[in-house]
Amino acid sequence: MNKKDLRIVYMGTPEFAVESLKRLVEGGYNIVGVITMPDKPMGRHGSVLQPSPVKQYAVSQGLKVLQPEKLKDEQFLAELRELKADLQIVVAFRMLPEVVWNMPPMGTFNLHASLLPQYRGAAPINWAVINGDTETGITTFFLKHEIDTGEIIDQVRVPIADTDNVEIVYNRLMMLGGDLVLKTVDAILDGNVKTTPQEELAQIEELRPAPKIFKETCRIDWTQGVKKVYDFVRGLSPYPAAWTELHQGEQAPVMLKIFETEKQYCSHNYQPGSIDTDKKTYFRIATTDGYLNIRSLQLAGKKRMEVTDFLRGYRFDDSTYVK
C-alpha cells in the first residue's frame, strides 16, 4: 500500500495539531476525515461559535469534518466506520474510547509532547518547563486502554534553554511533531515499526505527571527559591500566565500576571513577597534566596506592559507587597 491508498482519519483540536495535519495534506497523504471538537461558544452571550484551529484548516482544504459531542454516540461511530480508515492519528485531542481507537486495522497512534513515560497528561510542555527540565521531546505511540501508556513507536529529544518560556518550547515541538508524524506513518506503511513498552522505560526514573492546569495552579508561591519561581513563571508564559496578588493598605488586592523575569541570587532580610523598587527602573520581589526582577507584567484590566511603563503609572507606598 502507498500513501495515496492509505486511508487516514486525523483527530485534533488546537493549533498544535494543525502543523501535523498540514504536513500530511501537503505530503499527499490520503486524509479521508478529520475529527475535532464542536465549535466553542464565544462572546458575552455565547452567540458566536468559534471553530477549532484544526477545523478551520480542514475546511480550507476541503476535508470532511466530524464534530461529535460524545465519542460513543452511535451516529458518530457509524459515520466513522463509513470512512473505512486504515490508520487513525491523534494529536492534542481527547481520550478515546476503545471502540474508536481499536477501529482501524493498522491501529491508532498519538503524538504526545513529552518523552513518555514522563509527563503523561494534559499539559506536558508546561510542566517540563515549570520543573526546570533541560530536555523534553515528542513521542508517537499506539493507543491502548490507559491514557498515554501505549507502546512507544518513536521519540525525538529536544533541549530546553534556561531562557525558554512555554511558547518557545511549544512552537519548537509543534514543528518537530509534524516531522515525526510523517516519519511514523511511513514506518507503519513500510512495516518497519518496532515498539517499546513504556513499562521498560518507567523503571529508569521516577515518573512525573502533567495534570491539567487551572487558574489556582498558576498562583505564585513566593516562599520558594528564585530558581523555582523563575521556572514557574516561564512555564506558564505567555498563557495561561503565572499570577500573584498585589496588596496595598486597605485597598482590595489586584491580580498581577507576570510573564518575564530575571533571577537575582542574594541574601536579604525581606519576607518572601516583599517588594523592592526605585519606582522608576526596577521592580523586584523577594523570595527565600534572592529576588525575581520583573521584566513584563499585566495588571487586571490592563494590557501587558514592560516594567518601566508599569512603574510610571502605579503608585506604591510602604505597605505594598504581593501574596
- Residue 143, sorted as left (phi over 0), alpha (psi -120 to 50) or beta, turns out to be beta
CA-closest candidate to residue 286, choices 306, 263, 304, 307: 263
What are the φ/ψ torsions at residue 127 (nearest 5 degrees)? -70, -30
Q: What's the pLDDT score for residue 90?
A: 98
Outline where 72-165 has alpha helix (H): 74-82, 98-101, 124-130
pLDDT value at residue 251: 87
Residue 115 in marked binding region: yes
Lowest mean pLDDT across 59-73, 134-148, 226-240: 134-148
* Average pLDDT of span 290-298: 98
Nearest-10 crossing angle of helices 15-26, 166-190: 40
- 287-301 mean pLDDT: 97
With contact defined as beta carbons under 8 Å apart, do 190 and 3 qualify?
no
Predicted confidence band of residue 204 (pLDDT cuts 50, 70, 90): low
% of residues, the chain, pLDDT over 90: 88
pLDDT of 45 over the 90 cut = no
Determine if residue 114 is labeled as part of a ligand binding site. yes
The topology (CATH level 3) of 216-322 is: Methionyl-tRNA Fmet Formyltransferase; Chain A, domain 2 (3.10.25)
Average pLDDT, integer, range 97-119:
97
Give me the residues paired with residue 162 across strands. Answer: none
> pLDDT at residue 107 above 70?
yes
What percentage of residues in the chain have a pLDDT greater than 70? 99
Rounded to two decimals, the pTM is: 0.94
Query: Which region among 53-57, 176-180, 318-322 has the lowest average model confidence (pLDDT)?
Result: 318-322
User: Does residue 44 register a pLDDT over 70?
Assistant: yes
Closest to 257 in 3D by CA, of 321, 320, 305:
305
User: How high is the pLDDT of residue 249?
Assistant: 86
Annotation-wise, does 173 bind a ligand? no
**Average pLDDT over the chain, rounded to whole?**
95
| pLDDT tens column, 252-271 | 999 999 999 999 999 999 99
Q: What is the pLDDT of residues 2-28, one digit of tens each?
A: 899 999 999 999 999 999 999 999 999
- Which of the four CATH numbers 3.40.50.1000, 3.40.250.10, 3.30.420.60, 3.40.50.170 does domain 7-202 have? 3.40.50.170
Residue ranges of domains in the chain = 7-202, 216-322
Dihedral, 145, 116, 140, 63 alpha carbons, nearest 10: 70
Is the model's pLDDT at 203 over the cut of 80?
Answer: no
pLDDT for res 121: 93
292 appears as a binding residue in the annotation: no
What is the model's pLDDT at position 250? Answer: 85
| Rounded CA separation 165/183 (Å) | 27
Phi-psi region of 241 (alpha: psi -120 to 50; beta: other; left: phi over 0): left
Cβ neighbors of 94 (< 8 A, separation 6 or more) are 13, 37, 71
Backbone dihedral region for residue 82 (phi beyond 0: left; psi -120 to 50: alpha; all else: beta): alpha
Per DSSP, the three-state class of 65 is: strand
